[in-house]
Structure 1
Amino acid sequence: MKKSIKYILLFGVGALAGITAERNKEYLINAQFIRDHWHFRKVISNQEAIIKADKTMIILAFGQSNSADYGEGTYTCRNEVYNYYKGDLYRAEEPLLGPDGSGCSVWSRIADMLIDSGLCNKVIIVPIGVGSTSIQRWTEGDCRKKLDKTLDELVKDRIQLTHILWDQGETDNVDGTSKAVYKARLNQLIKVIRDKGFKAPFYSSITSYFPYNNNYPLGINPHITGAQKEVINERADVLAGPNTDSLNLAYYRQNLVHFTEKGLDEFAHSWFEKIRDSK
Structure 2
Amino acid sequence: MAIIFGGAGLALNNFSSPDAYYIYPAQDVITGAEPVLDLTGRVEVSRGVIDERTAVLVVIGQSLSVNEVPTPYVPIHGSAIDQLNIYDGKLYRAKDPLLGINVSGGTVTSQRGTWMLRMADKLVADGHFDRVIIVPMAVGNTRVEQWADSASPPYLFNKINVVGLRLRDAGLPCTAIMWGQGESDTIANTSQASYAASLKRVIAEFNHAIPNCPILVAQESYYYGNTSAAVLAAQASVVNNTTVFAGENVDLISSSGRYDNTHLNEAGADQRATLAVAALEVALGI
What SS does structure 1 have at the residue aligned with 2:84? strand
Q: Measure how far apart 1:26 and its partner are.
A: 6.1
Match of residue 57, structure 1, among 33, 43, 55 = 55
Show the counterpart of 2:84.
84
Residue identity opposite 2:122 in structure 1: M
Distance 1:245 1:271 in 2: 12
Q: Measure how far apart 1:73 and its partner are.
A: 1.4
Distance 2:209 2:272 in 1: 29
Contact kept? 2:174, 2:210, Cα under 8 Å: no
Residue identity opposite 1:94 in structure 2: D
* Mapping 1:134-153, distance limit 5 Å: 134-140=143-149, 141-153=154-166
Contact kept? 1:54, 1:121, Cα under 8 Å: no
Distance 1:172 1:220 in 2: 10
Task: Flag structure 1 segments of 5+ consecutive residues without an equivalent.
Answer: 1-22, 212-217
Q: Deviations over 1:124-146 (max 9, x none)?
A: 00001111100111111422233
Residue identity opposite 2:68 in structure 1: Y
Distance 1:78 1:273 in 2: 19
**Structure 2 length normalisation: TM-score?**
0.79
Show the counterpart of 2:106.
none
Match of residue 176, structure 1, among 184, 189, 214 = 189
Matched residues, percent identical? 27
Structure number with bigger Rg: 1
Distance 2:27 2:229 in 1: 36
Distance 2:40 2:52 in 1: 30
What SS does structure 1 have at the residue aligned with 2:211? coil
Distance 1:240 1:36 in 2: 31
Distance 1:167 1:220 in 2: 14
Distance 2:59 2:128 in 1: 18
Q: Measure how far apart 1:254 and its partner are.
A: 0.8
Show the counterpart of 2:18.
none
Q: Indicate whether 1:159 and 2:189 are aligned.
A: no
Show the counterpart of 2:67.
69
Distance 1:64 1:160 in 2: 24
Inter-CA distance 24–106: structure 2 relative to 1 (3 Å threshold): closer
Q: Deviations over 1:190-224 (max 9, x none)?
A: 1111111331110010011112xxxxxx4111000
Distance 2:62 2:27 in 1: 20
Q: Measure how far apart 1:39 and its partner are.
A: 3.6
* Mapping 1:202-213, distance limit 5 Å: 202-211=215-224
Show the counterpart of 1:265.
270
Q: Deviations over 1:234-276 (max 9, x none)?
A: 4621111111112122x20011111111111111111111112
Q: Measure how far apart 1:117 and its partner are.
A: 0.9
Distance 1:113 1:95 in 2: 18
Task: Flag structure 2 segments of 5+ consecutive residues without an equivalent.
Answer: 1-24, 104-109
* Mapping 1:177-256, distance limit 5 Å: 177-211=190-224, 218-232=225-239, 234=240, 236-249=242-255, 251-256=256-261
Distance 2:26 2:194 in 1: 30
Please state which structure has a larger fraction of its residues in helix.
1
